[in-house]
A and B are shown apart, each in its own frame.
Chain A
Amino acid sequence: MSAPLTFLRRPPAPPPTGASAAPPTALAALPASGVAIAVSMVRPRTLERLCADTPARAAFWSTTLHDAALADWLAPLRPTRLHVGSEFCERLLPEPEQLARTLAEASAAGLEVGLLTPVASPEVLRALEPLFALLPAGAEVVVNDWGVALRLREFHPLLQPVAGRILCRMLKDPRLGNPQYAPPAAHGFASPWQQRLFARVGITRVEMDMPLFAGADSFAGVPLPLGVHLPFAFVAKGRMCRTAGLARPGPERFAPRPFCHHECLGLAARTERARDGTHDAWETLHVGNTMFCRHSAASLAVLAAAVAAGRVARLIVPGEAL
């Protein structure tokens, strides 16, 4: 993205415990209706804990998200959806047998299933076909590639494409410390051309990350039911995977042709750049081919207010610890 230079100003160092552990700004309670929680998992398990009572869910969220205040906020609302697969990596699609098992387990737990799909190579398109065939009519497919969306419209019209967060391009550079740059960092869903494109491929729901400097207008102008990811925004993703370098020596160690043993399912890295006594405003981490940043407590408070105001139809929360 292009950069005017006037906005650059480094913030003061955050408290030593990091942004996520900062004293929570008051979160408006989740309404009992009007908003749903979807849990995203690459390899779903422990669904029973998600569907148990509030204390069990609070414990689950606390363990998974490492944020007690956020866990307490989410816990009263029982998740109704499970999103399985990966938005970020073509190597993390489920095998058909895995998806069939997940569909059965989710059904038993009272969860509707959506399939997460990444930017798609030709090989990914081929791998998706047997997965689409397993999904029941009306099931959602979160698409992060226009080719996948077109394919759904043409060959699987009973499945419901949802525009994923990779298609929602907006500035999310965690090194920026000045909210004056927030306006140009907004989502582009309000564009009439974008809306026509959504209609053309049958997209009726959209997802986005929280903007870096979320404000009252951050979720305005979205023409379709909106899902918002929390508490992590993806900053950047590659096709090349640093973690997959563990699996393959030689010329193609960091090459686009993907190969790995799914090392990223077990490993992650906290990343930090401390320079000249200052720190970035946002906590960052690296999982597989993707860099994430964690929302601040203040951003979550803005999201909670948007939920209370009915602007957000769905919260999407990772069910696996990053």
Chain B
Amino acid sequence: MKIVAPIRQLDEIAALARAGADELYCGVTPREWAERFGGASANRRPGGNLPSLAALAEAVELAHHNGVQLSLVLNAQQYSVEQIEFALEIARGYADMGGDAVIASDPGLILALAEAVPGLRIHVSSVATCRNADGARLYQELGARRLILPRDITLDEAAEIAAAVPDLEIEAFILNDGCVYEEGSCNTLHLPGALGGPICLDRYAYVHRHRDGRPLSPALAARLQENDAAYRRWLWYRFSCGFTTTAEGMPFGPCGLCAIPALGRGGIHALKIAGREGPPERKLASVRMVRQILDAHERGESPAAVMTRARDLRPSHEHCATGFMCYYPEVVGEAERARETARHSPPTSPVPTSD
């Protein structure tokens, strides 16, 4: 499996490649785009972009020089006709630079890209929310070469899609940056923090009620209150345990490291590290973490040993046990059992990182 990592500045490229990334992805919002479209970003992450097409060209060259591929993100949920035409201009220029792939979500843009820039690989963004083999087949018919699965998918579903569409590469989330709502079904903005931030983190008060107007019983009200408290706990985990890291800079969840053996068995082609807008140190630590666990898996360690190794990366056993930090919480029980077994066995040897 390949490791796919994000960048937003040129000096991240060599470091991430050395740490073990196989592919990188970036966004770009040229000044003319911002001027024509009212300051709107050309993709989903306005704070995570290269500043110019010149910087993009340099990024392509640097990536190839360091032996990794570079994909360009054009994954806004939906583009106007004028924006699609401009996005095609960007894509043509990017292809001329030697760029490797465009990550897109809007099916109209995907169709337009396949026709206008036929030599350029198209990767379907997780923002497309494609969660079944028929959807994957349609995107393949439109010209896609890879499907990035949405965050909220189970390991069984991912494997079923990969098996049903074997000629389409499948990429799955492995680390960082949870969303509450599905990206393709969230019609909101990430507002500045002072105005509320992402809507899923905004401080909404919930007043529960029966839909038919009956008052809640005290018992039901108490259950709802407990559920709200559990949801807030889950939310804290979902957003990287309050956006914290270990002293070494390793991020806490969302995390799928324990599921790497299952993802491998399921025919997943690439593992996506999210977080273009994050600091360089977090990206570097993230790549090292995934590389370490992937290397153990590819070296032939047993799934139980790989899971144990993944859980021992960070002082997060209690967090791991909640399942709330997991992209694939269905493996929590399995990982817990593996760790219990490992406690009564000789420790596994550390795997050197690629850096």
Contact = CB atoms under 8 A, between A and B. Distances in A.
Contacts of A256: 151-154
Contact of B81 (A150, A171, A190): A190
User: B187, B196, B199, B321: which has the most chain A beta carbons within 10 Å?
Assistant: B187
Interface string A188-203: 1011111011000100
A3 B189 contact: yes
A253 interface: yes
B56 interface: no
Nearest to A151: B134
A72 interface: no
Interface in A244-262: 245-246, 250-257
B178 to A, nearest CB: 10
A201 B84 CA distance: 21
B227 A246 contact: yes
Contacts of A145: 129, 131-132, 135
A251 B332 contact: yes
A251 B208 contact: no
B111 A236 contact: no
Contact of B40 (A10, A166, A184, A235): A184
A250 B153 CA distance: 18
Contact of B234 (A149, A239, A254, A269): A254
A275 B197 CA distance: 13
Interface in B166-207: 180-182, 184-192, 195-196, 199-200, 202-207
Contact of A121 (B131, B212, B323): B131
Contacts of A234: 185, 187
Interface string A245-285: 11000111111110000000111111111110000000010
Q: Which of A146, A252, A267 has the most CB of B within 10 A?
A: A146
Most-contacted residue by chain A among B112, B130, B203, B206 (CB, 10 A): B206
Contacts of B189: 1-3, 171, 173, 176
Size category of the B interface is 35 or more
Nearest to B180: A238
B199 A150 contact: no
A125 B106 CA distance: 22
A96 to B, nearest CB: 20
Contacts of B186: 235-237
Nearest to A188: B78
Contacts of B329: 251-252, 255
B181 A238 contact: yes
A190 B189 CA distance: 23
Given A197-B108, A320-B211, A236 B187 contact: yes
Contact of B208 (A6, A122, A267): A267
A273 B181 CA distance: 18
A275 B196 contact: yes
B205 A273 contact: yes
Contacts of A316: none
A251 B322 contact: yes
Interface string B37-59: 11111111110000000000000
Contacts of B182: 119, 237-239
Nearest to B160: A122
A120 interface: yes
B107 A257 contact: no
A172 B187 contact: yes
A193 B209 contact: no
A101 interface: no
A128 to B, nearest CB: 10
A5 B191 CA distance: 8
A175 B195 contact: yes
B83 to A, nearest CB: 9
Given A2-B43, A250-B323, A184 B187 contact: no
Contact of B78 (A4, A121, A169, A236): A169
Nearest to A233: B187
Given A184-B40, A284-B204, A1 B322 contact: no
A286 interface: yes
A192 B79 CA distance: 12
Contacts of B76: 1-2
B230 interface: yes
Contacts of B349: none
A79 B163 CA distance: 45
B249 interface: no
Contact of B135 (A146, A239, A253, A284): A146
B310 interface: no
Contacts of B345: none
A121 B156 CA distance: 11
Interface in B80-131: 80-81, 84, 106-109, 111-112, 129-131
Contact of A255 (B106, B200, B206, B323): B323
B298 interface: no
A186 interface: yes
A237 B34 CA distance: 29
B223 interface: yes
Interface of B: 34, 37-46, 76-81, 84, 106-109, 111-112, 129-139, 142, 150-154, 157, 160-161, 180-182, 184-192, 195-196, 199-200, 202-213, 223-224, 227, 230-231, 234, 321-324, 326, 329-330, 332-333
17 contacts: A1-B189, A3-B41, A5-B192, A120-B132, A145-B132, A146-B134, A146-B138, A146-B139, A171-B187, A171-B188, A191-B81, A193-B108, A238-B181, A254-B324, A255-B330, A273-B203, A284-B204
Given A246-B224, A272-B204, 17 more contacts: A2-B189, A3-B41, A5-B192, A119-B185, A121-B157, A125-B133, A147-B130, A186-B80, A188-B79, A193-B84, A235-B188, A235-B199, A237-B182, A238-B180, A251-B333, A256-B151, A291-B181
Complex A-B, nearest 10 residue pairs according to Cβ-Cβ distance, in ascending order:
A251-B323, A4-B39, A147-B135, A2-B41, A147-B134, A193-B108, A256-B152, A239-B152, A173-B188, A236-B181
